[in-house]
Structure 1
Amino acid sequence: MYDKNKLPILDLRQFYNVKERHIFLKELQYLARHIGFFYLVGHGLDKNRIKQIKEYAALFFSLPQQDKESISIENSPHFRGYTHLNGEHTQNTPDAREQIDIGTELEAIPLTSTNPIWTRLQGPNQWPKDWPDFQKVVQSWLFDTKKISIDLIHAFLLALGVKENVLDPFILNQPNESLKLIHYPKTDSTLSVQGVGAHKDTNILTLLLQDEVGGLQVLSKNTWIDVPYIEDAFVVNIGETLELATNGYLVANTHRVVSPKNTDRYSIAYFISPNLFAGDLPILDLPHTLKQLATGPTTDPNNPLLRNIAENNMKSKFRSHLNVTQKFYPDIYKHLKKKHGDLYEKN
Structure 2
Amino acid sequence: MIPILDWQRFASGQDRNGFVADLGIAARQTGFFLLKGHGVDPALQREVFDKADQFFALPPAEKESISILKTPHYRGWAHDGLESLDEASGMADRKESFNMGLDLAADDPRVLAGDPFRGVNQWPDLPGFRKTMLRYYDAALALGVKLHRAIALDLGLPEHHFDSAFIDPLAALRVLHYPPGRDAKDEIGAGAHTDYGAITLLMTDGEPGLQVKPRGGYWIDVPHVPGAYVVNIGDCLMRWTNDIYVSTPHRVLRPKNQRRSVAFFVEANPDVIVEALPGTGAPKYPAIRAADYLQSRLDVTYNAPVPKS
TM-score (normalised: structure 1): 0.82
| Structure 2 residue matching 1:319: 3-state secondary structure | coil
Instruction: Say whether residues 1:121 and 2:108 are aligned partners.
Output: no
Give runs of aligned pairs for residues 57-96 of structure 1, distance below 5 A.
Answer: 57-92=52-87, 93-96=91-94
Structure 2 contact 75–100 (Cα < 8 Å) conserved: yes
Report if aligned partners of 2:5, 2:33 keep a CA contact under 8 Å in 1: yes
Q: Which ranges of 4 or more aligned residues in structure 1 deviate by more than 6 Å?
A: none
TM-superposed CA distance for 1:322, in Å, is 3.8
Q: What does residue range 129-144 of structure 1 map to in structure 2 within 5 Å? A: 129=125, 131-144=126-139
State the match for 2:298 in structure 1: 317
- Segments of structure 2 that go 5 or more residues without pairing to the other structure are none
8 Å CA contact retained: 2:169, 2:269? yes
Mapped to 1, the partners of 2:29 and 2:74 lie a distance apart of: 33
Tell me the residue number matched to 2:206: 212
- Deviation by residue 1:94-134 (Cα, 9 ceiling, x = unmatched): 110000111011242535xxxxxxx32111110002x2400
Superposition deviation, residue 321 in structure 1 = 2.3
Secondary structure at 1:19 match in 2? coil
What is the match of residue 193 of structure 1? 187
Say if 2:276 is the partner of 1:283. yes
Q: Quote the offset at 1:306 in angstroms.
A: 7.2
Task: Please name the residue that 1:177 is paired with.
Answer: 171
User: Bigger CA drift: 229-238 or 48-57?
Assistant: 48-57
The answer for the alignment partner of 1:15 in structure 2 is 10
3-state SS, counterpart of residue 172 of structure 2: strand
Structure 2 residue matching 1:182: 3-state secondary structure? strand
The one-character-per-residue Cα deviations of 1:177-202 (angstroms, maximum 9, x if unpaired) are 10111000000325152111111111
Residue of structure 1 in register with 2:219 after alignment: 224
| Number of residue-to-residue matches in the alignment | 300
Note if contact 2:182-2:255 (Cα within 8 Å) is conserved in structure 1. no
Counterpart CA distance in 2 for 1:306 and 1:54 is 38
Which residue in 2 is equivalent to 1:50?
Answer: 45
Percentage of matched positions with identical amino acids: 33
Q: Give, in angstroms, the shift of residue 167 of structure 1.
A: 2.0
**Alpha-carbon distance in 2 for matches of 1:245, 1:99:** 28
Equivalent in the alignment of 1:241: 236
Shift of 1:296: 3.5
2:113 equivalent to 1:110: yes
User: Which structure is larger by alpha-carbon Rg, 1 or 2?
Assistant: 1
RMSD: 1.9
* Equivalence map 1:246-325=2 (5 Å): 246-261=241-256, 263-278=257-272, 280-286=273-279, 291=280, 296=284, 307-325=288-306
Further displaced range: 195-204 or 313-322: 313-322
CA contact (8 A) 1:76 1:324 kept: no
> Partner residue of 1:116?
none
Contact 1:109 1:120 in 2 (8 A): no
Question: Could you state the TM-score of these two structures normalised by the residue count of structure 2?
Answer: 0.91
Runs of 5+ in structure 1 lacking a partner?
1-5, 112-118, 298-304, 330-347
- What CA distance in whole angstroms lies between the structure 2 residues aligned with 1:9 and 1:168? 25
Aligned to 1:203: 197
Greater RCO (CA < 8 Å, at least 6 residues apart) = 2
